[in-house]
Structure 1
Amino acid sequence: MAVSSLPLSWASTLHNQLTVPNSTAVPRSTAFSQPNIIAYSRDTTFNEESCLKKRSILLGLGALATSLIPANFVFADVPENYQSFIDLSDGYSYYYPSDWRDFDFRGHDSAFKDRYLQLQNVRLSFIPTDKRDIHDLGPMEEVISNLVRHVYAAPSQRATIFDMKERTVDGKNYYTFEYELTSPNFSRTAFATIAIGNGRYYTLIVGANERRWRRVREKLKVVADSFRVLDI
């Protein structure tokens, strides 16, 4: 059973709109989280044994990467009960609840989920683009409305956008918005943050079952607002 109502066609749809002509797929990378170093590569196809072997090898690489982090790149501001996930190779970072575990989410570069509630999760994906900033996509209201209603939502779902905002951090612009996708028998609410940098269009989505949204909204908003694009 899929853990999200996000249609599998979304990546190809955005790819057609934003990909650099004749570009190749962006390679997966080694990443790690703090305070517990977790280094791994993400492939769309793998078995459990090969994944464990990769993680064993990359744990050492993760520890080495920690010693190479610039001195001013500190994680002292990570909120209590959260951890930082930093991918220096692919150029991004975000916080996630410290009791969540990582998992492989098809078509995504990294993902973490609640140990018991699989629909309560965060995932990060990116595709190549020739755009340099999210402002190049058009007005915020049009961009977000098109994403939610025509990319995120399946034909059988009703999309509702509750809020949207723009913020600028270290010269980089981000759109963060709250939305709900409703099917006849199911509803899911989420925050999404999008940004462009390093020749990539990044999308972070963190959400939960609509019935739990009121209880976890502020907790998940911390994750959405923590997303940063790093220069690579």
Structure 2
Amino acid sequence: MAISAAAASASASASSLVLANRSSFAGSAATTAPARLNGVPNLRSRTAVSCVRASTSESNNESEAVTRRQVMGGAAAVAATIATFGSPALAINAPKGYTAVLDNADGYKFFYPFGWQEVAVKGQDVAFKDVIEPLESVSVSIIKTDKSSLAELGSADEVAKALVEKVLASPSQKTQLVEAKERSSEGNTYYTFEFLAKASNFTRHGLGTVAIKDGKFFTLTTGSNERRWNKMSDKLKMIVNSFELLV
């Protein structure tokens, strides 16, 4: 069936929005993010909500004193972070087995599986992945747009198809859009979609969601190797459905 002029225009618009922030799947140049300040990740205005456990050595007085200083130093760093960004525990609660990301500066939040590590990926605002299964990851990209709504780009199918074919997979991969749908939450509209990206030696089963607000186009992408989809699908759906723009 021939693609309509409107669909072609929507595809071109969606592609131009995010080509600069192409997500890397296999062979990503991602590296573990090194920036830390007094043991607290330097995430700008972004807060990762987690639990910290401190233990005290009882072997001798000297080790106890050292441990106390370490705990006090860590507590001071956490206190400074909370003073700067606000209390993460009060701001957002993550379900069991997940960590919450709250970015007040860019205005979004989502959950990711506990234990995934933050990595640096060029063009991404934030990214986390499993260190053992590198295809299991989540990333968020943000770029400016003159569009005020997703509808200006096209339908959920049109926008998702453009992203999957031209942005979220390499030219050598064969792609398939499995499903695309629209959802709304607290006045914001999201296009959420499922796709496959097939390479010669693996297939990535991915999920994504996009939204527009205040002149910014947001794209969250997550996924896993197809061989682990049955095990990971519920967790990945939790990630993509947890993504929300702040009101």
Query: Which secondary structure does the structure 1 equivalent of 2:236 belong to?
Result: helix
Aligned to 1:158: 174
Q: Which ranges of structure 1 fall in alignment gaps of 5 or more residues?
A: 1-10, 18-27, 38-56
Q: Does 1:81 align with 2:84?
A: no
CA contact (8 A) 1:182 1:188 kept: yes
Out of 102, 106, 111, the residue aligned to residue 122 of structure 2 is 106
Change (3 A) 1:141 1:36: same
Percent identical: 36
**Cα separation, 1, equivalents of 2:19 and 2:113:** 33
Instruction: Return the match for 1:34 from 39, 49, 66.
Output: 49
Residue 124 of structure 1: how far off its partner (Å): 0.6
Within the candidate set 76, 81, 95, 2:111 is matched to 95
In 1, Cα distance between equivalents of 2:195 and 2:131: 24
Partner of 2:144: 128
RMSD value over aligned CA atoms?
2.7
Q: 1:139 aligns with which of 143, 151, 155?
A: 155
Deviation at 1:67, TM superposition (A): 3.3
Cα gap change, 1:58 to 1:176, in 2 (>3 Å): farther
Task: Count residues in correspondence.
Answer: 189
Question: Cα–Cα, structure 1 residues 81 and 149, in superposed 2: closer, same or farther, change >3 Å?
Answer: same
Q: TM-score, normalised by structure 2?
A: 0.69
**Structure 2 counterpart SS, 1:152:** coil
Rounded Cα–Cα distance in structure 2 between residues aligned with 1:65 and 1:171: 28
1:63 corresponds to which letter in structure 2?
I
In the alignment, the residues of structure 1 paired with residue 45 and residue 223 of structure 2 have an alpha-carbon distance, to the nearest angstrom, of 25
**Quick one: structure 1 residues 81 and 128, their matched pair in 2 at CA, closer, same or farther if it must change by over 3 Å?**
same
How far off its partner does 1:206 sit? 0.7
Q: Determine helix, strand or coil for the equivalent of 1:166.
A: strand
- Which deviates more, 196-205 or 156-165? 156-165
Distance, in Å, in 1 between the alignment partners of 2:181 and 2:157 is 9
Deviations 1:84-103 (A, max 9, x none): 10000111110011121111
CA distance in 2 between counterparts of 1:122 and 1:206 reads 4
Greater Rg by CA: 2
CA contact (8 A) 1:91 1:198 kept: no
How much has 1:35 moved relative to structure 2?
A: 3.0
Which segments of 5 or more consecutive residues in structure 2 lack a partner in the other structure? Answer: 1-13, 21-42, 53-75
Q: Are 1:211 and 2:227 an aligned pair?
A: yes
Deviation at 1:14, TM superposition (A): 2.3
Q: What's the counterpart of residue 63 of structure 1?
A: 82
Offset from partner CA, 1:118-162 (integer Å, 9 cap, x none):
221111111000111111211221111111112223222111111
**In 1, are the aligned partners of 2:157 and 2:181 still within 8 Å (CA)?**
no
Q: Which letter maps to 2:17?
A: L
Q: In 2, distance between residues paired with 1:102 and 1:140?
A: 29
Alignment-mate amino acid for residue 182 of structure 2: E
